């Protein structure tokens, strides 16, 4: 029952030798979701051992090139690989127009359907729901319409305690009823409360991706209790002015967001190319929020199950 | 007086871990020209120590994604770097429409002018001329309109032989006249033929880029005598059928083109992802054309001056 985040890239707009622009794969129970796709995303997927065909759905935060240039080559390659499964792309307007142009000029005959679902970046909305997860949009504060994403694992199915099965001699039907959350009514009329028989194997886990954005108390509040928070930290604390003007965040902004969100862990990224080393940036974030970590290409952050 | 070709990428359409799609920088007398721009080109430029701002002009052979997806991120980055010099892009139609869309959605305020010059891929035309070089289009045979490029150094200025200057006691004016290719008429009426005084310091050099294409006798003939010929060899000789159907070439097609063009050296590239090693491909090309070499990312081919 995996819940991992693989960093494909965490540079900001100016390219550097060893940093690719934004892109991540969120893997929940072997469902793979692509979050942002800067240039080179498809190659980063291959480099880090993720079969691009496994991507189920795509979430693009905003339409700056360093977050979406890589989606178009990826669409072509998925066609070359013979994908048949539909691909849905969540993105703000006017992504649909960009997609239409791409399909018109490059991929008139893709073997799989591509669908754009418009994100209203001003609202907190449910974008995707299935048996395992929910994905919500998180309005952000950037120079262009931008929404982050909150991935929330659903409550896992209840487990029936083995010892209680033995103790009460539960039948298959009774076990099934207990798994459904019901109390068990025995043949002799006795009722066993569900809580006596079952337990939640682990607490649902969650991950939030907040990039690109100024500090936003609203966004942080909407991610309350998140296990892992990725927050852009384009600038060091000394560049508060630049951050504010450019719709970005500093290390301390990211840490404040993590505090506000009562996150368990913070990952910072989207570093400006001016910083050759990320260690000082992480140190700044840690001065406010101890559990701060730097995103690095290829790194996999795992959210472990907690009982 | 440099004449080099740096390989930024030589993969074909399907991406691989260690091969980037097509892109090259042709450097003639420190004038840098970008030829094709697959995804990741801008990062490859930086990786191989070429300042993207030095790119003077761009030549795109055709509008398949693996040859042009990388131009759009590069345009944005040049803007971020504060480029002011105009950038001209030679490409077949309808590149202008793609460029217009890109500028509309991503780079409404580029600090430098970008101009598209349409290539008529059916004709052998002069695309660019300055004091140093000429660049010609070479019609190719592919699935979509496609033209290769022939870079031709102009005749270098004549050198006046130092010993003749001394022998004849030439004046500054007479030296200048000789450099202009004129005979020198002396005060006493004697005429010294130009050939007695001058020499061509080196033969003009040339480079041809032929990708993507079937074997084309016409293209090869138009590149006659070329010093260095880059010819796609997507397929091994056994895949002649696939090559023909897909508008590509085999190793032997590339070698035949080199023979027909009377090239001095052949470089093959645009390898299909199915070939893990290029050695067997080079061996096949060498079986017909001895001076065959494999393109590899980061490799620089130098055309030395020959007297």
pLDDT (tens digit per residue) in A240-294: 999 999 999 999 999 999 999 999 999 999 999 999 999 999 999 999 999 999 9
DSSP code of B263? Answer: -
- Tokens 């301390």 locate to A252
Q: Tell me, what's the pLDDT at B94?
A: 94
Measured in angstroms, the CA of A102 and the nearest CA of chain B are apart by 8
A14 to chain B: closest CA residue: B77
Structure tokens at B20: 């980037």
Q: Do A76 and B43 touch (CB under 8 A)?
A: no
Average pLDDT (B34-52) is 96
Q: Tell me, what's the pLDDT at B15?
A: 81
Q: What tens digit of pLDDT does each residue of B99-128 get? A: 999 999 997 789 999 999 999 999 999 999
Average pLDDT (A298-303) is 97
Average pLDDT (B55-79) is 97
pLDDT at A16 over 90: no
Whether B66 is a known active-site residue: answer yes
Q: What tens digit of pLDDT does each residue of A54-76 get? A: 999 999 999 999 999 999 999 99
Phi, psi of B35 (to 5 degrees): -115, 110
Measured in angstroms, the CA of A262 and the nearest CA of chain B are apart by 36
Measured in angstroms, the CA of A145 and the nearest CA of chain B are apart by 13
Pick from B15, B47, B70: which is nearest to A77 by CB? B15
CB A46 within 8 A of CB A54: no
Phi, psi of A269 (to 5 degrees): -165, -165
How far is residue B96's CA from residue B108's CA, in Å, rounded to a whole number? 15
* Beta partners for residue B199, in sequence order: B159
Query: How distant, in Å, are the alpha carbons of A130, A141, A194, A215, B249 from that of A137?
Result: 16, 13, 35, 16, 48
pLDDT at A212 over 80: yes
Q: Tell me, what's the pLDDT at B1?
A: 87
Structure tokens at B238: 């056994």
Question: What does the DSSP assignment read for B27-67?
Answer: EETTEEEEEEE-TTHHHHHHHTT--GGGEEEEE-----HHH
Domain with CATH 3.60.15.10 in chain A: 3-156+200-302
The CATH fold assigned to A3-156+200-302 is Metallo-beta-lactamase; Chain A (3.60.15)
Q: What tens digit of pLDDT does each residue of B180-194 get? A: 999 999 888 899 999
Q: Tell me, what's the pLDDT at B14?
A: 87
Q: What is the pLDDT of chain B when averaged over all its residues?
A: 96
Q: Tell me, what's the pLDDT at A15?
A: 81
Q: Do B106 and A42 touch (CB under 8 A)?
A: no
Q: Tell me, what's the pLDDT at B16?
A: 83
Task: Put residue B262 in one of left, alpha, beta given phi > 0 → left and psi -120 to 50 → alpha.
Answer: left
> Torsion angle of alpha carbons A168, A171, A174, A178, nearest 10°?
60
Sheet holding A265-269, edge to edge: A126-129, A133-139, A147-153, A206-210, A228-232, A265-269, A292-294
Average pLDDT (A224-248) is 97
Q: Which residues of chain A have a CB within 8 Å of the CB of B105?
A: 63, 94, 97-98
Average pLDDT (A103-116) is 92
Q: Which residues of chain B have a CB within 8 Å of the CB of A13?
A: 76-77, 80
Could you tell me what percent of chain B has a pLDDT over 70? 100
Task: Give buried/exposed letters for B114-136 (b at 16+ CB in 10 A, else e).
Answer: bebeebebeeeeebbeeeebbbb
Give me the count of residues in chain A.
307
- Three-state DSSP at A198 gives strand
Burial (Cβ within 10 Å: 0-12, 13-18, ≥19) of residue A82? exposed
Phi, psi of A35 (to 5 degrees): -115, 115
Query: How distant, in Å, are the alpha carbons of A77, A90, A240 from that of A111?
Result: 11, 20, 47
- Tokens 């035949």 locate to B256
Q: Tell me, what's the pLDDT at B210?
A: 98
How far is residue B262's CA from residue B256's CA, in Å, rounded to a whole number? 10
Lowest mean pLDDT among A3-7, A188-192, A228-232, B258-262: A188-192
Q: Which of the residues B66, B212, B227, B253 is marked catalytic? A: B66
Q: Chains A, B: CB contacts under 8 A, how many?
A: 78
Measured in angstroms, the CA of A273 and the nearest CA of chain B are apart by 12
Band the pLDDT of B24: cuts 50, 70, 90.
Answer: very high
Residue from A76, A93, A95, A272 whose CB has the most chain B CBs within 10 Å, to mutate: A76
Q: What tens digit of pLDDT does each residue of A139-178 get? A: 999 999 999 999 999 999 999 999 999 999 999 999 999 9
Structure tokens at B104: 């509309």
Pick from A65, A76, A94: which is nearest to B65 by CB? A76
- Tokens 């997860």 locate to A133
Q: Tell me, what's the pLDDT at B17?
A: 79
Q: Tell me, what's the pLDDT at A102?
A: 93
> Torsion angle of alpha carbons A32, A38, A44, A46, nearest 10°?
60
Which of the two residues, A119 and B13, has the higher pLDDT score? Answer: A119
Could you tell me what percent of chain A has a pLDDT over 70? 100
How far is residue B22's CA from residue B12's CA, in Å, rounded to a whole number? 7
Q: Tell me, what's the pLDDT at B212?
A: 97
Pick from B14, B43, B105: which is nearest to A40 by CB? B43
Q: Tell me, what's the pLDDT at B88?
A: 98
Q: Tell me, what's the pLDDT at B244?
A: 96
Pick from A13, A20, A80: which is nearest to B80 by CB? A13
Q: What tens digit of pLDDT does each residue of B272-293 get? A: 999 999 999 999 999 999 999 9
Measured in angstroms, the CA of A264 and the nearest CA of chain B are apart by 34
Nearest Cα to Cα of residue B88 among B104, B112, B67, B105? B112
Radius of gyration of chain B (CA): 22
Task: Give buried/exposed letters for A203-224 (b at 16+ CB in 10 A, else e).
Answer: ebbbbbbbbbbbbbeebbebbe
Q: Which residues of chain B have a CB within 8 Å of the CB of A16?
A: 46
Q: Tell me, what's the pLDDT at A17?
A: 79
- Three-state DSSP at B241 gives helix
- Three-state DSSP at A166 gives helix
Task: Give buried/exposed letters for B186-208 (b at 16+ CB in 10 A, else e).
Answer: eeeeeebebeebbeeebebbbbb
CB B184 within 8 A of CB B178: yes
Which residues touch B190 (CB under 8 Å, ≥6 apart)? Answer: none
Q: Tell me, what's the pLDDT at A292?
A: 98
Query: How distant, in Å, are the alpha carbons of A35, A56, A115, A148, B66 from that of A89?
Result: 10, 10, 6, 14, 22
Band the pLDDT of A203: cuts 50, 70, 90.
Answer: very high
Q: Tell me, what's the pLDDT at B199?
A: 94
How far is residue B152's CA from residue B140's CA, in Å, rounded to a whole number? 18
Q: Does B70 touch chain A (CB under 8 A)?
A: yes
Residue spans of beta strands (DSSP E) within A49-183 = 55-59, 87-91, 114-118, 126-129, 133-139, 147-153, 159-160
- Three-state DSSP at A17 gives coil
Q: Which residues of chain A have a CB within 8 Å of the CB of B97?
A: 101, 105
Burial (Cβ within 10 Å: 0-12, 13-18, ≥19) of residue B239? middle
Q: How many angstroms from the chain centroid is the CA of residue B81?
A: 25
Q: What is the pLDDT of chain A when averaged over all its residues?
A: 96
Residue from A37, A70, A83, A105 whose CB has the most chain B CBs within 10 Å, to mutate: A105
């Amino acid at each position: 029952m995996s819940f991992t985040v693989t960093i494909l890239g965490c540079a900001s707009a100016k390219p550097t030798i060893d940093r690719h622009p934004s892109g991540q794969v969120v893997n929940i129970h072997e469902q793979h979701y692509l979050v942002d796709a800067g240039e080179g995303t498809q190659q980063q997927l291959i480099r880090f051992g993720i079969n691009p065909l496994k991507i189920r759905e795509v979430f693009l935060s905003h339409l700056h090139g360093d977050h979406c240039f890589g989606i178009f080559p990826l669409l072509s390659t998925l066609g070359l690989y013979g994908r048949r499964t539909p691909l849905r792309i969540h993105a703000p307007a006017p992504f649909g127009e960009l997609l239409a142009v791409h399909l018109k000029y490059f991929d008139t005959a893709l073997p799989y359907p591509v669908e754009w679902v418009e994100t209203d970046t001003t609202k907190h909305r449910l974008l995707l729901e299935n048996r395992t997860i929910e994905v919500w949009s998180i309005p952000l504060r950037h120079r262009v319409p931008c929404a982050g994403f909150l991935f929330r694992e659903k409550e896992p199915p209840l487990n029936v305690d083995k010892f209680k099965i033995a103790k009460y001699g539960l039948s298959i039907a009774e076990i099934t009823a207990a798994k459904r959350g019901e109390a068990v009514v025995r043949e002799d009329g006795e009722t066993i409360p569900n809580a006596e028989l079952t337990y939640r194997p682990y607490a649902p886990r969650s991950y939030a991706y907040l990039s690109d954005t100024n500090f936003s108390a609203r966004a942080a509040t909407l991610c309350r209790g998140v296990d892992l928070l990725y927050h852009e930290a384009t600038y060091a604390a000394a560049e508060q002015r630049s951050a504010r003007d450019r719709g970005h965040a500093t290390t301390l902004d990211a840490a404040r967001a993590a505090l506000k969100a009562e996150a368990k862990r913070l990952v910072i990224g989207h570093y400006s190319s001016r910083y050759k080393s990320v260690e000082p940036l992480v140190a700044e974030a840690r001065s406010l929020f101890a559990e701060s970590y730097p995103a690095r290409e290829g790194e996999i952050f795992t959210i472990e199950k907690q009982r």
